[in-house]
Each structure stands twice: as C-alpha cells, then as structure tokens.
Structure 1
C-alpha cells in the first residue's frame, strides 16, 4: 500500500539526520510496516512485534527526506510477517529499499514479563548521545563497550532517538556501530549505503553490551556481533562510504 509521511522535525527529531542515515532508514521501516499492518488488519491492539531480520540498500535519491513510499506485507507462517518497502525522495528518485521479517505475537503476559526484566536506571550512565563507553583495538580486533539507558537513550534527553523504551532498539545499535566505524576508520563524515541485521534476542537497557568487529569479504562492509551478559543478541553489517570529489569512496575496515 502507498504511504505518505509526516516530516515534522519537532515531532520526529530523527528527521534532523541526513535522509539516508541508518537511523532514519530504521524509522521508515518501523513506521511503514506498523502503519500498513494496522491498515491491512495484520496487527492490532494487544499484539507485539519484534524485528528479526532486515536488509536495506540506499539509492541515488537524496533530495530531502522521503515524503512517500510503498509497503508490501505478507504473512510467513502463523507468527511472522515479511515486509518489502520502497521509498522515494522529493524528486521521485529511489531513496532506499528495505525488506525483512518480523515476529508477531499476542500480549499474554509478555508486558508483565518484560517489565520484570527491566534494570533500574544506571547511576553511571553517560549523558546525552554518549552510548560508547570505551573502544579498544587488540591485534586488529575492534571492540566497543556500550550502555544505552532510559536516562540518555530517548528524546528529549537524546537529540534524536525515539522508541518504545522497553529495550535497546535497532536504530540505537546502528548508531553505536556507526560511531565505532567513524572512530576506527578516522573518518568523521561517513554515510551508510546499505546494510543488514539479524536480531536474536532483546538487548536490554541500562545493562552494558559490546560490539565486536568481525571480518567481511566486502571492502566497504563493517560487520559487528552484539553481545550482552555473555550471549549474542544481534549481528549487524553496514556498508559505509564517504563522498570525496563527488565520487563515492569505500570506508574500509581496519584489518
């Protein structure tokens, strides 16, 4: 179904980011899938969703944030929904294409069980945007220790992140990965040209987690394993580039 988007930056602070920023892509994925799901009767009151896998590619359209898009949804078994969405910029050029899968399940006692798992706000939380507490490089293996909390993780305490406040969202994990890549590669101005992610379990708020850089077969791809309390929670892959002299130049991970 066709969708039109509200581009009010006061209501949606992440729209202050560049149009193809990974955080922006995640927000378009979430709101398009949820809006289409409710409109088509696939989602409703008392139903929770969890993103399990996603892939996206950015196009050449960078003329402002996308005012429109098209989202296709289809059921994949009794509890999964697949999505396939395309978004255009103001000129009509393709801004990005997103596809993936989410898990859908009834509330039951899920909300109560999630509330019981919430950690108290951390007294040592860093202010504002500082999710990264430490970055290390041991024999070429990059690692970032991170902490996202209810105090600093969401707007208005954070400049642009919004979300459920229940767990560390996909956009916050992408943000951490982008910060690691920018510092490790020594590039302050990088942009994400595409990526993918697989989510295996919730990454909890107010509890330390780590991003471990992993090798990739692509020169422009940064891969990360996300772990918390000794368990893998997600895997991320971001394709990064700079625009130098009008030409896209890959940002290569350190080897």
Structure 2
C-alpha cells in the first residue's frame, strides 16, 4: 500500500499542501479530543527503510517525522511554509520480534506548561512497535534560509578527503556509504570523530536516510548513537529505548565529535555528547538489547 498525498482519504481533513509526492500515513481520522488515527504505507519501493528492523533507530526516527508532520496536516496545525526543528525526542520500542507498523495514533500531551506530541505505532498483530514523544520549535518570524546561509558561510568546509571511517562490519552496516563514525579513541574519555555528508548521509547515496539537505537530522543522530554503541560494546545490538536533545544544528560535510559521557555495560546503555566547533549540539542517551 502506498499512501499518496493527493488521495481523497488523506485530503478530506483539510491537510495543507506539501512538496512531497507520497505520504507514509493515510486514512487519517481526527477524533473530537484531537487524537489522530492513521494507516501506514507498506510500500518498500517508496520507503526502502521499511526493509530494516521495525525498531531500528533509522526507521523509528523516520516514522517519527512522517507521523507527526502528516498528523499535523490532518489537524490543520502544520504550516508547510514555515521551517521547524525537533528539539527533543524520546522513544521506547517493542521486542525485536514485532512486525512492521501498519497503523498508528497521534496525540498531544500536556505536562504542566510543556506540550509534547506522542505517536504510538502498531503491527498487524496489534503489538506496539514503538512509542515516541517529542517537542520542537517553529521558525515563525526568522528568515530561516538567510540565517542558515550566513551560518554556513561562517563555517568554511574543510578538506575531509582523508577522513577514515570505521569498518562497515564494526558498525553493522551493509555498505561503506552508511558509515558515519571513525573508530573509537580511548583517552581521558572515549570519543569518535564523525562525518556526515550528502554523499554518505542522504538518498540516493545512503540507502535509507533522506532529509532537507540543509543539516544533519535526528535520524542521522539516532544512527550515530547506534553505531557508537556497536563499537563501544563490541556486538550487534537492538534498539530498546532512548532520548535525544538538540541544541544546535550539526552541519553536513563538517567533522563532529561524539564523546562518551557515561555507560552501563550490563544494561548496554550509554549517554553521549555531540559537539562541533567546540559547541554542544546534541545529547544522545540510548539503551540496547543483544541482537
């Protein structure tokens, strides 16, 4: 099944226009209390990341994007003319045996003065594949394109031709183009250098990850957390849960550093800090299970 953006079942709720030819979710039903239920596409040609494990970080962060944006369109709260940014996300996965998501529920949660969105996805057996919640910011007045252009002009692109990535098998990726990190370096703390470019971080070069092409996104960061963990614990892992906070954009084509803040070898969990040009950009905490 492919959910097509101009399908009447999608448009009947007044969804705003968008520049995407396909939609991952469709048949949205908006309830009186603001919940949105929907079905999920099963088309692996349009969405090749569906071939991954349903709890893989790439798939989890990708359906977080599509599910929240398309539910926002169904509610009439998403403005495609404004740039927005995810500032926080946390998730909890079902067991490794869960199937591919076939349906989901979107809702808004109020915790004191904080508003978050929450998504729950279910497989064909009605088993929850993942629960995700998060929050973000909308650039309503800022000239986003001009601001980002000035930022990139200040950050001259370095020569990265000599960057040496870790071996693909160490990171549990199928191709060299899917590698984001160099081998771990142990000193006063454990670190890894990272480099994500349009040539290794975005489709069609990368088999699964897309994006605006303006900056490194949350899907990249979820995969950075997984790749770091596979090197740190020296084994293949399943994504179990995690959370990420985003303070500054990580720029494409510029090296960044991932530093180990803490780890629990028994729980197969870690806490990481991602920095670029001596600026704290993201915090990643993830927990895993043996694959």
* TM, length-normalised to structure 2: 0.75
The aligned residue for residue 196 of structure 2 is 148
Return the offset for 1:171: 1.2
Indicate yes or no: 2:228 matched with 1:194.
no
Give matches, 1:78-89, under 5 Å.
Answer: 82-89=116-123
Indicate yes or no: 2:216 matched with 1:168.
yes
The aligned residue for residue 106 of structure 1 is 140
Q: Per chain length, whose mean CA-contact separation is higher, i.e. which structure has more relative contact order (CA < 8 Å, sep 6+)?
A: 1
Return the offset for 1:123: 5.4
Return the offset for 1:116: 3.6
* TM, length-normalised to structure 1: 0.85
Structure ranking higher in helix proportion: 2
The aligned residue for residue 251 of structure 1 is none
Indicate yes or no: 2:221 matched with 1:221.
no
* Aligned length in residues: 240
Larger Rg: 2
Give matches, 1:63-78, under 5 Å.
Answer: 63-73=98-108
Return the offset for 1:67: 1.1
Q: Name the SS for the 2:60 alignment partner.
A: helix
The aligned residue for residue 131 of structure 1 is 180
Structure ranking higher in strand proportion: 1
Q: Is 38-47 or 196-205 further displaced after alignment? A: 38-47
| In structure 2, C-alpha distance between the alignment counterparts of 1:47 and 1:61, rounded to whole Å | 37
The aligned residue for residue 252 of structure 1 is none
Of 210, 215, 231 in structure 1, the residue corresponding to residue 257 of structure 2 is 210
| Kept after mapping to 1: 8 A contact 2:198/2:205 | no
TM-superposition CA deviations, 1:63-109 (whole Å, max 9, x none): 4210110011368999x852011111121111111112111222641
TM-superposition CA deviations, 1:121-150 (whole Å, max 9, x none): 9652676122113421125x2211001011
Gaps of 5+ in 1: 244-255
The aligned residue for residue 23 of structure 2 is none
| In structure 2, C-alpha distance between the alignment counterparts of 1:95 and 1:61, rounded to whole Å | 9
Q: Name the SS for the 1:215 alignment partner.
A: strand
Of 77, 80, 84 in structure 2, the residue corresponding to residue 45 of structure 1 is 80
